[in-house]
A and B are shown apart, each in its own frame.
Chain A
Amino acid sequence: QVHLEQSGTEVMKPGASVKVSCKASGFTLTNYHMHWVRQAQGQGLEWLGVINPGGIKTYAQQLQGRFTMTRDTSTGTVYMELSSLTFEDTAMYYCVREGCSGGACYQYFDYWGQGTVVTVSS
């Protein structure tokens, strides 16, 4: 069955960088678009970026230059890295798979990881 297992809680200082991993199982990573979404406590969802099956990445404009997605196809793991952290980056970060079927993808999110809490604190 499909499962996305994310790395654990991170507590970081302002200005630092954080890297979160997401190990996929139950499907082939390179057949799917993989996204990252974050949610600050008590706030709404914010789309961060996507890496497509070919490895092409697209990032949300508001994070340009600070946000990077990578993947390791040998281990089935995707990563996100966020640099120059500020207090406003404190949030739950979700790894998310895009719904695809029969070779077509439908721009919705069908499986979510359990989330990784990133806290930025001095």
Chain B
Amino acid sequence: NAGVTQTPKFQVLKTGQSMTLQCAQDMNHEYMSWYRQDPGMGLRLIHYSVGAGITDQGEVPNGYNVSRSTTEDFPLRLLSAAPSQTSVYFCASSWGTGSTGELFFGEGSRLTVL
């Protein structure tokens, strides 16, 4: 099992460029989510999904789009990158919606916006 796979691991963008962070899991988890990690702050939830075709906003959704066309994949899109989106991004999944299952994290994607 690969678990939760994120790509790319590193990316540098210019302000205004767009990109997609990929997240895939092979554990048949219903729940998937995206977080950003900034210095001095806890992981903050950007968007989450409780199943294919269902997404919802988290704590800091502005500037990000998501979709969930399959159970396995949950890409995070930045349509027009801003320096404030420089961060480390983590994808995490869990086996149940509304359950108390533990989160399984990807290895993170470090994004720098110049």
Query: Is chain B found bound to chain A in the same assembly?
Result: no
A-binding residues in B (CB < 8 A): none
B-binding residues in A (CB < 8 A): none
